[in-house]
């Protein structure tokens, strides 16, 4: 076994670790912004710090328990994005018994922003799936699977549970107790009595830990199951180490919940008449009916919705917003768009939003102070316009980023926006495709909204909200009546006053308006 481990370490170092380790050394202790998690063996992880490497690997631990389980590795929930603290388990791409090669996708993980593939960079066999499809809000490092080196070891984990993975020391104490009992049997009577006396306080402490104090000890899976079923953990007796509540305890309590009260009533009625009477506890008031009967529906929060709520609350409460509004004539850009689409013969189809993105990128080039971000101790001015485009998805709002818009033409921008938004709605974006950027555009014009005030997306210093174009009467000296009907679009810039002064924001909107009212300049 040790020889095989050494060979695998050498292979990893020559194939994956040379690229992974420099990146791991600079990574956060709990997060890494990539779906390619490099899973090194513990002997290699110790060279770079067990805790740091474990967070990158998804907390990969290795045991050879005295209970009889072969040497194995516990794979934890990986941190696939910098803001991820918990994840949902999607479709498993491997089944129990399947061989895993370096780079194989083990399981799909739903992070706070997207659904991503967890690629395993090691060899082995999947012996046990500890987190089935649909498991929600699983904290980082919580056990999700068991990996073994030898295929013949897979069958030994048929009865393995997540509680054993979380408390691997449980088997060893149990075995130690057995060994202690055997030693006591073989020892002289005096030694045996002493051993029993020492064992009694330990057992009493374990019982006390399960019921004493205000803290309730339960595994993450048990907590999740109890929450989903509306069960009170305080009413559940734990059978795990030190009274810990485990999955089987929740299932047993839920199964016997309907008969728990009748059984208690029967026990009370059959008590001896001579027993001292105890004051009956007042019954808890009945809870209000849930669901349609109460006139409302409680919708569980997704990871994405939690992150949206947290980030926007932080942005609105900590970033000093101010707003500038501008009206822009869209007649010329609409005619240019129509001409270009006609000449394309179906090769591409430009939208007004493509012109808006290009005009914003050109204005950011002219007024680089707006293309900046607040970094706490300094202001970072970006050299390219990496524009985040707000896109509505079934799960919530996400902002895929079109990189270097200032250096791309309308055709390239159009194709990239369509591709990114399509994958965003399919929940298939990679972290680097929606994290970062230097400026945000939010367009609600297609919904008929004429004007709105958007919330800045930190660390960006500004966001541009786009409304629908509407027909208005405008002065026109060349017209017989002295006025004409024009298509006018209202835009509003929300800016961070720590970075962008009012005059600078006004210069940006003036440049932006100039490009859209003279769209041929976008082609230069």
What are 412's two structure tokens? 């390239």
Query: Which residue in 437, 457, 430 sits closest to 80, CA to CA?
Result: 430
What is d(CA 416, CA 388) in angstroms, rounded to the nearest whole number? Answer: 12
Look-up of token digits 């367009």 = 443
Neighbours of 491 (CB within 10 A): 23
What is d(CA 355, CA 361) in angstroms, rounded to the nearest whole number? Answer: 10
**Sign of the torsion formed by the C-alpha atoms of 96, 98, 99 and 102:** negative
Q: Per the residue annotation, which of 50, 432, 476, 501 is the catalytic one? A: 501
What is d(CA 297, CA 181) in angstroms, rounded to the nearest whole number? Answer: 56
Q: Per the residue annotation, which of 50, 383, 476, 497 is the catalytic one? A: 497
Q: Give the three-class secondary structure for 505.
A: helix
Residue 503, CA distances (Å) to 189, 324, 498 in order: 93, 10, 13
Which residues lie closer than 8 Å to 137 by C-beta, 6 or more apart? Answer: 86, 88, 224, 303
Neighbours of 338 (CB within 10 A): 11
Peptide bond into 321 cis (omega under 30): no
- What is the radius of gyration, based on Cα positions, of the chain? 31
Q: Torsion-angle region of residue 309: left (phi > 0), alpha (psi -120 to 50) or beta?
A: alpha
Look-up of token digits 């904290």 = 139
Annotated active-site residue 497? The verdict is: yes
In sequence order, the β-bridge partners of residue 472 are: 486
CB 87 within 8 A of CB 303: yes
Query: Which residue in 372, 392, 351 sits closest to 501, CA to CA?
Result: 372
Catalytic positions are 497, 501
């Amino acid at each position: 076994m040790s020889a095989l481990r050494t060979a695998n370490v050498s292979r990893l170092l020559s194939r994956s670790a040379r690229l992974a380790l420099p990146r791991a050394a600079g990574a956060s202790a709990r997060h890494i912004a990539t779906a390619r998690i490099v899973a090194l063996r513990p002997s290699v992880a110790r060279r770079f710090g067990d805790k740091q490497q474990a967070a990158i690997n998804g907390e990969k631990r290795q045991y050879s328990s005295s209970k009889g389980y072969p040497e194995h590795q516990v794979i934890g929930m990986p941190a696939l994005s910098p803001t991820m603290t918990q994840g949902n388990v999607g479709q498993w791409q491997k089944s129990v018994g399947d061989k895993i090669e370096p780079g194989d996708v083990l399981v799909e993980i739903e992070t706070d922003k997207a659904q991503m593939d967890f690629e395993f960079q090691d060899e082995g066999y999947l012996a046990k799936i500890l987190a089935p499809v649909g498991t929600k809000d699983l904290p980082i490092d919580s056990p999700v699977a068991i990996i073994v080196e030898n295929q013949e070891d897979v069958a030994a984990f048929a009865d393995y549970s997540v509680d054993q993975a979380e408390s691997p020391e449980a088997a060893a104490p149990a075995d130690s107790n057995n060994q202690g009992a055997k030693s006591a049997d073989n020892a002289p009577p005096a030694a045996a009595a002493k051993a029993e006396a020492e064992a009694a306080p330990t057992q009493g402490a374990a019982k006390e830990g399960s019921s004493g104090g205000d803290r309730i000890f339960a595994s993450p899976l048990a907590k999740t199951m109890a929450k989903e079923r509306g069960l009170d953990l305080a009413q559940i007796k734990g059978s795990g180490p030190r009274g810990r509540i485990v999955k089987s305890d929740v299932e047993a309590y839920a199964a016997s919940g309907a008969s728990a009260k009748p059984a208690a009533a029967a026990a009370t009625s059959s008590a001896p008449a001579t027993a001292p009477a105890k004051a009956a506890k007042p019954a808890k008031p009945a809870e209000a009916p849930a669901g349609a009967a109460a006139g409302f529906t409680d919708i569980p929060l997704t990871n994405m919705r939690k992150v949206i709520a947290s980030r926007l609350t932080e942005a609105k409460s900590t970033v000093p917003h101010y707003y500038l509004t501008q009206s822009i004539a869209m007649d010329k850009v609409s005619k240019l768009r129509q001409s270009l689409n006609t000449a394309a013969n179906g090769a591409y189809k430009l939208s007004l939003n493509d012109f808006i993105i290009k005009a914003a990128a050109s204005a950011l080039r002219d007024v680089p102070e707006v293309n900046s971000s607040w970094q706490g101790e300094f202001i970072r001015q970006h050299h390219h316009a990496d524009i985040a485009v707000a896109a509505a998805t079934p799960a919530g709002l996400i902002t895929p980023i079109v990189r270097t818009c200032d250096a791309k033409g309308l055709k390239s921008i159009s194709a990239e926006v369509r591709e990114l938004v399509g994958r965003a709605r399919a929940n298939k974006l990679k972290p680097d495709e929606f994290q970062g950027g230097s400026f945000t555009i939010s367009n609600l014009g297609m919904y008929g909204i004429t004007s709105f005030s958007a919330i800045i997306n930190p660390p960006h210093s500004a966001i541009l909200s786009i409304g629908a174009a509407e027909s208005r009467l405008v002065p026109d000296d060349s017209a017989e009546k002295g006025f004409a009907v024009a298509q006018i679009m209202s835009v509003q810039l929300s800016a961070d006053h720590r970075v962008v002064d009012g005059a600078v924001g006004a210069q940006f909107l003036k440049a932006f308006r100039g490009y859209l009212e003279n769209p041929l300049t976008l082609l230069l």
